[in-house]
C-alpha cells in the first residue's frame, strides 16, 4: 500500500501541468519572442575579426580544388598572341571565403586569404616593350609556388596539374591593398567618437575619389589606390586602415598576394 502511494505521488509530480518542466512526455513550448534585430543599424554581415597582416606565409590549399575553378572572358591584349584584340576565355582559380587559403603555421596560423588567379598572360614589365614577357598568374603559381616545371600546354592539363596539389601547401608573400572606389559611399571618422577609432558610412553619401587616370596627391600611385607600403606607420608598424590622401575616406586594407615563393 505504501509503495502504491509513493508511485501516485511521483506520477502526480511528473505529469502535473504546474510541475517544473511539465509533462516529461510533452515538454512545454517556448514561444519565439522575436529577438531578431539588434538595436540601431544592422552591423556588417561579415562581422569583425582580424586581418592577415603583411608577411610571407605558408598556406594550405583547399582539399577540393575542383570547386574553385571557373572561366572568365577577357580581352586579349598580348601583342604576341594570335588572338590579340579578341575576347578569349581563360581559366580562373578563385579562393573565396568558402574555400580560402589558410595559413598553416606561425603567429598568424588559421588566418585566411582570398585571391583570384587566371591563366590570362599579363605584362611583367613595360607593356609597350616588345621584349616584355607576358606571363599568367597561374603560371607563377604552378612553377614558382608549387615547384612544378611541367609547363602544361592546354587549359585542361593546366587545371588537372594544379588539382593534384589539393590539400598541399604553397608559400606566398602577401600585403595589404585598398581602393577608394568611385562607385561606393566612403567611410569617414565618426565625429561622435572621442577615441577617433570608429568609422561610419558618410551620412552625406559621398562617393570615393578613385580615378586610375589621375595620380594620388603624393604622386606615388594612381588616385584612390593604396598598397602595403601605405599601411606602415612612422614607427614601421603595419596598420589595418589608411586615410585617403584626396578625400576624407578611411580605407580598410584587404590582404593581397604580392608574389609566390619557392617551396622550402
pLDDT tens, position by position, 212-235: 999 999 999 999 999 999 999 999
For 53, the grid coordinates are: 597582416
Residue 34 pLDDT more than 90? no
Question: What pLDDT score does 50 carry?
Answer: 72
The pLDDT confidence band at residue 39, using thresholds 50, 70 and 90, is low
Whole-number Å distance between alpha carbons of 143 and 124? 16
The fraction of the chain above a pLDDT of 70, given in percent, is 81
Cα angle value 42/43/47 (rounded, 5°): 150
Buried b (16+ CB within 10 A) or exposed e, 201-232: ebeeeeebbbeeeeebeeeeeebbbbbbebbe
Q: CB–CB of 149/143 below 8 Å?
A: yes
Return the C-alpha torsion angle 167, 65, 101, 177, nearest 10. 150
Cell numbers 587566371 correspond to what residue?
118
Higher pLDDT, 114 or 6: 114
14 Cβ contact partners less than 8 Å away, ≥ 6 residues apart: 23, 24
- Which has more confidence, 23 or 122? 122
Can you tell me the distance from the alpha carbon of 178 to that of 239, in angstroms, rounded to the nearest whole number? Answer: 12
Q: Whole-angstrom Cα distance, residue 242 to residue 253?
A: 7
What does pLDDT average to over the chain?
88
Q: Supply 188's cell numbers.
A: 569617414
The pLDDT of residue 32 is 60
Single out the residue of 165, 144, 162 nearest to residue 152, CA to CA. 162
Of the chain, the end-to-end C-alpha distance in Å amounts to: 82
> Is residue 84 a contact partner of residue 188, using CB atoms and an 8 Å limit?
no
Distance, in Å, from the CA atom of 171 to the CA atom of 145, rounded to the nearest integer, reads: 6
Summarize pLDDT for 229-253 with one digit per residue, the tens.
Answer: 999 999 999 999 999 999 999 999 9
| Average pLDDT, integer, range 168-173 | 98
Residue entry with cell 572621442: 194
Judge whether 245 and 217 are in contact, CB under 8 Å: yes
The cell numbers describing 61, all together, are: 590549399
C-alpha cell at 150: 611541367
Amino acid at each position: 500500500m505504501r509503495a502504491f502511494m509513493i508511485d501516485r505521488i511521483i506520477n502526480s509530480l511528473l505529469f502535473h501541468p504546474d510541475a517544473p518542466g511539465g509533462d516529461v512526455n510533452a515538454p512545454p513550448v517556448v514561444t519565439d519572442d522575436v529577438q531578431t534585430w539588434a538595436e540601431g543599424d544592422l552591423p556588417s554581415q561579415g562581422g569583425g575579426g582580424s586581418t592577415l597582416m603583411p608577411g610571407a606565409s605558408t598556406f594550405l590549399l583547399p582539399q577540393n580544388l575542383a570547386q574553385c575553378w571557373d572561366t572568365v572572358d577577357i580581352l586579349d591584349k598580348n601583342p604576341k598572341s594570335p588572338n590579340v584584340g579578341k575576347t578569349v576565355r581563360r581559366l580562373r582559380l578563385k579562393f573565396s571565403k568558402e574555400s580560402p587559403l589558410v595559413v598553416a603555421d606561425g603567429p598568424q596560423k588559421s588566418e585566411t586569404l582570398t585571391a583570384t588567379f587566371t591563366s590570362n598572360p599579363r605584362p611583367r614589365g613595360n607593356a609597350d616593350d616588345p621584349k616584355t614577357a607576358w606571363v599568367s598568374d597561374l603560371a607563377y603559381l604552378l612553377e614558382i609556388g608549387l615547384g612544378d616545371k611541367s609547363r602544361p600546354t592546354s587549359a585542361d592539363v593546366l587545371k588537372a596539374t594544379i588539382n593534384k596539389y589539393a590539400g598541399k601547401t604553397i608559400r606566398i608573400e602577401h600585403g595589404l591593398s585598398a581602393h577608394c572606389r568611385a562607385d561606393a559611399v566612403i567611410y569617414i571618422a565618426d565625429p561622435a567618437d572621442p577615441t577617433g577609432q570608429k568609422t561610419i558610412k558618410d551620412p552625406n553619401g559621398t562617393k570615393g575619389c578613385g580615378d586610375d587616370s589621375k595620380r594620388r596627391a603624393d604622386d606615388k600611385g594612381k588616385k584612390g589606390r593604396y598598397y602595403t607600403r601605405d599601411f606602415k606607420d612612422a614607427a614601421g608598424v603595419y596598420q589595418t586602415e589608411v586615410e585617403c590622401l584626396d578625400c576624407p575616406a578611411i580605407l580598410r586594407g584587404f590582404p593581397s598576394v604580392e608574389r609566390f615563393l619557392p617551396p622550402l
